[in-house]
Structure 1
Amino acid sequence: MKTEKLSQTIAEIDRLNAEDPFYDNNDGKMIPKELLYSQRMSKMLMDYEPMASEPLQIATRAQHIQRWKIPRESYPMDRKGYLMWRTELKNFHGKVTSDLMEKMGYHEAEIGHVDDLINKRRLKTDHEAQCLEDVVCLVFLKYYFDDFIEKHANEEDKIISIVRKTWKKMSEKGHQAALNMSHSPKSLNLIKAALEQD
């Protein structure tokens, strides 16, 4: 059950993400890209971990908050540039969310915990950090994997490598949730091919 403070925080995250100038198609309706992503993240979390704590719910909703403000093209288009971009994004998402939570009256410890979750600190020792990582991977597989396959249609080895890396980030519970999802025949074949290589 959501507290009033949590509901207001989620609404503010949505307000910020609704400013995204880029849109995605959702069942024929165009929705700001990061708003749609954040809502999908929250839905997946509630399906996967119905008793998720308030900090975990906030971190999940704010995972990509205002992501468009730091475009990938602002960093070198190589592996090093990609890693720099990802680090800068996590710091940015954490800062925006921390400032928002402070305005909403959250305690310093709660704000710090959400910042840790968004920045993927203690991934292997914090159950909630692993839960968030599972949700990120599940959302990718459910909503974005087919488009990724289409975009990289002639790079099957690359796709299989991405699936293997994604799989290694997930817990056993996450693996089971992924396998229990409905997948397109093409995506299922690629997932199976990736797992057979392990």
Structure 2
Amino acid sequence: MTNTAFNTACELIDAENALDPNIELYQSVSFPKELLYSDRMFEKLMNFEPDAPEEVKIASKAQHICRWKIARDSYPMDRVGYLKWREDLKKFHAKTTADILEKVGYDAAFIARVTFLIEKKQLKKDAGTQLLEDVICLVFLEFYLDPFVQKHDREKMKNIILKTWNKMSEKGHQHALKLPYSVENLQLIKEAIGA
């Protein structure tokens, strides 16, 4: 596909995410929450794997597209409800992205591949899914770990970190240990992974 199609797809994904009514403050600037997340995902991918395939680039930008449209509290507030919400979100993100890619002129095989990636199929077996998952985990550790630390006790946090760690590749682990954490959070990570 041409660069123009890729750029147009990215612009359309950004336009959707810019509609997020939830605002996040970062370095004293207000951003629509999912637009900021999308930018972080893409930047982290380019930093982690500059030669990533085009379908992974698009999947990284669209990972949470229009996430606010399916509220967590519209599902039962238990583990089963949480897992159902996550599953429905993946399908919704994939479908929303597929519609954009079709509009831009991507072929069915490319769209199917992006859908496969956003739905995180065959983690640990598929190189593209693993790459996307590494980036998701790295973005979580760099930008979203601290808010979690404020909300949960130490043991729960160690459990969350270990689950995140176990989803990552060895390359992801190497990269994760070089992220700019606070001294306390780096200590917490090391305790969680037994380093």
The residue number in structure 2 matching 1:64 is 64
Q: Secondary structure at the match of 2:181?
A: coil
Q: Following the alignment from structure 1 to structure 2, what is the Cα–Cα distance between the partners of residues 195 and 133?
A: 18
Q: Quote the Cα distance in structure 1 between the aligned partners of 2:190 and 2:123.
A: 26
Give unmatched runs, 5+ long, in structure 2.
none
Residue 113 (structure 1) aligned with residue 124 (structure 2) = no
Q: Could you tell me how far 1:172 is from its partner in structure 2?
A: 0.2
Aligned position for 1:162:
160
Partner of 2:55: 55
Partner of 1:73: 73
Q: Give the counterpart letter for 2:64 in structure 1.
A: H
Residue deviations 1:135-181 (CA, integer Å, cap 9, x gap): 000000001111111122xx111000000000000000000000111
Name the counterpart of 1:143: 143
User: What residue in structure 2 maps to residue 32 of structure 1?
Assistant: 32
Bigger CA drift: 78-87 or 177-186?
A: 177-186
CA RMSD after TM alignment: 1.0
Letter in 2 for 1:158: K
Match of 2:185 in 1: 187
SS in 2 for 1:25: strand
Question: What does the per-residue CA deviation read over 1:19-69, in whole Å, with 9 as the maximum and x for residues that have no partner?
Answer: 000010111001000000000000000000100111110000000000000
1:178 match: 176
SS at match of 1:140: helix
**Structure 1 position 5, deviation (Å):** 0.8
Q: Distance in 1 between matches of 2:13 and 2:126?
A: 24
What's the secondary structure of 2:24's corresponding residue? strand
Q: Determine the C-alpha separation between the residues in 1 that align with 2:13 and 2:26.
A: 19
Opposite residue 145 of structure 1, the aligned amino acid is: L
In structure 2, what is the Cα distance between the partners aligned to 1:15 and 1:87?
Answer: 24
Q: TM-score, normalised by structure 1?
A: 0.96
Letter in 1 for 2:192: A
* SS, match of residue 177 in structure 2: helix
Which amino acid is 1:171 matched to? Answer: S
Alignment of 1:6-45 (within 5 A): 6-45=6-45
Count residues in correspondence.
194
Query: Whole-Å Cα distance in 2 between the matches of residues 171 and 61 of structure 1?
Result: 21
Query: Partner letter of residue 127 of structure 2?
Result: H
Q: Percent identity?
A: 51
TM-score, normalization by structure 2:
0.97
1:105-161 alpha-carbon deviations (Å, 9 max, x no partner)? 001000000000000112122111000000000000001111111122xx1110000
Task: Give the Cα–Cα distance (whole angstroms) in 2 for the partners of residues 23 and 185 of structure 1.
Answer: 28
Query: Counterpart of 1:180 in 2: which secondary structure?
Result: coil
* 1:88 aligns to 2:88 (yes or no): yes
Q: Distance in 1 between matches of 2:137 and 2:175?
A: 10
Q: What is the distance in 1 between the residues matched to 2:71 and 2:12? A: 22
Segments of 5+ residues of structure 1 without an aligned counterpart are none
